[in-house]
Chains A and B, each alone.
Chain A
Amino acid sequence: MAQEQIGQFGINHVSILDKEGNVDEKLASGFTKEQLSEMYYYMNLLRKFDEKLFNLQRSGKIGTYAQTKGQEASEIGSGLALSENDWFVPSFRELGVYLTRKVPKNLLVQAWNGDTRALGNPNHSHNLPISIPIGSQCIHATGIAWASQIKQEKDVTIVYFGEGATSEGDFHEAMNFAGVFNLPIVFFCQRNGWSISTPTTKETKSETIAQKAIAYGFKGIQVDGNDVLAVNKVTTQAIEKARSGDGPTLIESITYRMGDHTTSDDSMKYRTQEEINEWENKDPVLRFEKYITNNNILNEQEKTDIHNAIEREIQEAVEQGLSVEKPNPEQMFEDVFAQMPEMLKEQKEELLNEIIQMSEQNNNGGNQ
C-alpha cells in the first residue's frame, strides 16, 4: 500500500487597512480620490440610513427591520466593484449594496414598510428583490450566471448570503453547479459572526467559509470585511476573473453584526457586551474615517459637504417613503398572473364590497 499526498490546499486572507486606519501602501495604491470619496459617501450614508430605519421601526413607522450596522465596508466595498449591468442577487441584509446600485432610497423605506410596490424594479435593472428564505437565492444566482454564459453576455452575477446560509443545501447545489459549468459568478458570504443566536462555530466545523470552494473546484478567498479597500479589491478581482471566463469565486468577508438580528431580537440573550465592544474597536466606518483624515484625502469642508448631503437625502427619502399613499387593497390581486383570471376578479369584487360595507359600518359607529 502506498500513500502519497495528491492535493494540498490553502486559503489566503487579504487586508489593506488596519483598525487604526493605517494602510499597506502597496495594496492601497491604485484607488483614485474620486473612488475614495465615493466610498466615504456610501459608508456614511449606509450607517446613517440604517440608523434612521432602525429608529423608524422603534417609533412604529415601519415594520420589522434587519440592521446592517457593522457591515458597511463589506457591502459598500463589494457593491462598488460591480458594473451597472452585473446581476445583484441579495439576501435581506444588503441595504448598502442597494444604495450603491442607486435604488431610490424612498423605495427602500417603503419596502420595509411592507409595501409590495416598492419591491418592484423601477429601472428594470439587474437587481433582485430581497430573498428571505435563507440560501435559496444562491441557486437562482447560479442560473442567472449560467444564462449569461449561454447567451455569451459579459454580465457577472454576485450573490450575497450570511454564513448561516452555507448550512443550507441550496448553497451547496449552487456552488457545485457553478463549479461544474465554470460560471461567471461571485459568491459573497458576509460572515458576521451570528445567525440569529447561532454562532458561526455551530454552523460549520470548517475553519473558514472560503475553503468550502475547494470542494467544488474553484477558488475561495477570505477578506477583512471591515476593510472597505480590501473588500473592494478582492471583489473587483473576482468579478474580472468571472468576466473573462475563468469561473466562480467564493469570497468570505469577515465582519460583525453590531446590531440585533432584527428589531424583534434581543442579542443580549446569547452574546456578551464585551464581544460587541471588541468589534466596536474594528468599526469599519471609523476605520475608514481615520484613513481619510490622516491621509488628507478629503479636507474638512469636503467631508462636511458629504455629511450634509447625506442628511438631506435621508430626510427626503423618509418623507417621501412614509407619505406615499397606502397601497390599494386590490393591489394584491394585480400581479399574481400576467392577466387576472376570472376567478380572482370575482374574489376581488367580493373584497371591494366588503371594504365598502366595513366603512359604512364604521361611519355608523358599529364595529366591523
Chain B
Amino acid sequence: MTKMHMVSALNNALDIAMKADDKIVILGEDVGVDGGVFRVTENLQKNYGEQRVIDTPLAEAGIVGCSIGMSLNGLKPIPEIQFSGFSYQAFHHIKQHMARIRQRTNNTMSCPMVLRAPCSGGIRALEHHSESPESFFIHCQGIRVIMPAGPYDAKGLMLAAIKSEDPVIFLEPKKIYRSFKEDVPEEAYEIELDKANVRKQGTDLTMISWGAMTRLCEETIEDLEKENISVEHIDLRTLWPLDINTLSNSVNKTKKCIIVQEATKSCSLSSEISAQINERCVLNLEAPIQRVTSWDLPFPQFALENYFLPNKTRIKNAVKKVLEF
C-alpha cells in the first residue's frame, strides 16, 4: 500500500497496463513530453516511447476518430481529451461511430478504447473547463461511462475499463486529482464495472452520488451523524450502465432517497435515477426523491462557481425535506 493522490493512482494504473499489453497506446494533446496538463501521463512517454505515448496535433475529432480506427485495427487506444468541455469537438465520432460500431456491424466489429477526460468544476478554471458532461455520453447508447470518486477507485476502475470489450468514457473530476490521498495497492487490481459501491450502511435514507460529490457527501454525512441521522451512502462508480438493483434495494430498505450530482439538474443522470427508482420503489417511498444538483444554467465564470455547485447546505436542506416529509 502507498498513499496516493488520484493523479498518481491513475498514472500508476496506466503504467501497469502499458507494461502488460503492448497494444495499448496513449494519444492526445500534451500527453507525452509534458505528461499531460495535469500530469496523469507523466513519464509514460519516457518509459514506453513516442510510438506508444503520442503528442497529437490540437484536434479532438482527430484524436477520437483516429482512436476508433486504431481500435478497429487491433490496438487498444487510450485517448485523452484535455478537458471534457472540449469533447464536444469530437462528439460526432463518439455518438455516430464509437457508440454503435458493434451494432451496425452485426457484432463483427467493435471499438474497445478508454477515452479519458478531466471533468467538473471547483478549481476556478476558465470558461468551458468546468463542466460535467456525463449525461451527453450516457445518452449516446452503447458507451460505458465511468467516474471515480477517489484514488483507490480510480486505479481499479481504470484497469477494469482497459479490459472492457466496449468503449469507455472515463471522466476524472479535477477537483479531487490532488485534494486527498488514499491507500492504494502497488500491484494491479480491478474493480468490478457496472456495480455501484455501498460506501456506508445506514437506515434513515439513501444518498446516491458520484465523482467529486462523493467526497462532499461524506463530509456532510459526518455532520448528519452528529444529529443522529443514519445515511446509507452509495457511489455509482460506473455511471452507465446503471446498477439500478443496488440502488433500489437500498431505497426499499431506507424508504427515502436523495441524489447528489455536480451536473446541472434537468435531463441528467439524476433525472434518470429518480425515474427508475420511482418505477421500482414507489410503494415503499415515504417521501418524494430529492435531487441536489447545480442549477440549470451554463457553467458561470469562476467568480460565481461556488454559488453554482452543490454545497453542504443544499444537501442538508434536501435531507431535511425527505426526513420531515
Contact = CB atoms under 8 A, between A and B. Distances in A.
B282 interface: no
Interface stretch (A196-204, A232-240, A284-292): A196-204
B127 interface: yes
Contacts of A351: 295, 307
Nearest to A354: B313
Interface string B237-269: 000000000000000000000000000010000
Contact of B37 (A92, A116, A165, A264): A264
A127 B86 CA distance: 24
A151 interface: no
B164 interface: no
A203 B129 CA distance: 22
A150 interface: no
A67 to B, nearest CB: 14
B33 A115 contact: no
B198 interface: no
Contacts of A344: 295-297
Interface in B87-138: 88-89, 124-129
B172 interface: no
Interface string A188-200: 0000000111100
B126 A347 contact: no
A119 interface: yes
A198 B89 CA distance: 19
Contacts of A170: 89
A122 interface: no
Interface in A188-223: 195-198, 202-204
Contacts of A114: 124, 126, 301-305
A203 B297 contact: no
Q: Is the interface of B mostly helix, strand, loop or mixed?
A: loop
B177 interface: no
A361 interface: yes
Contacts of B275: none
A258 to B, nearest CB: 18
A328 to B, nearest CB: 9
B224 interface: no
Contact of B86 (A133, A197, A343, A355): A133
Given A196-B29, A347-B296, A354 B314 contact: yes
A270 interface: yes
B57 interface: yes
B311 interface: yes
B295 A197 contact: no
B298 interface: yes
B89 A168 contact: yes
A332 B304 contact: yes
Contact of A332 (B129, B295, B311): B295
B57 A358 contact: no
Contacts of A326: 303
Contacts of B70: none
B127 A368 contact: no
10 contacts: A114-B126, A115-B301, A119-B301, A133-B89, A165-B58, A168-B89, A269-B34, A326-B303, A348-B295, A357-B313
Interface of B: 29-30, 32-35, 37, 55, 57-62, 85-86, 88-89, 124-129, 223, 265, 295-298, 300-305, 307-308, 311-314, 317
Interface of A: 63-64, 92, 113-116, 119, 132-136, 164-165, 167-170, 195-198, 202-204, 264-265, 269-270, 326-327, 329, 331-333, 336, 343-344, 347-348, 351, 354-355, 357-358, 361, 367-368
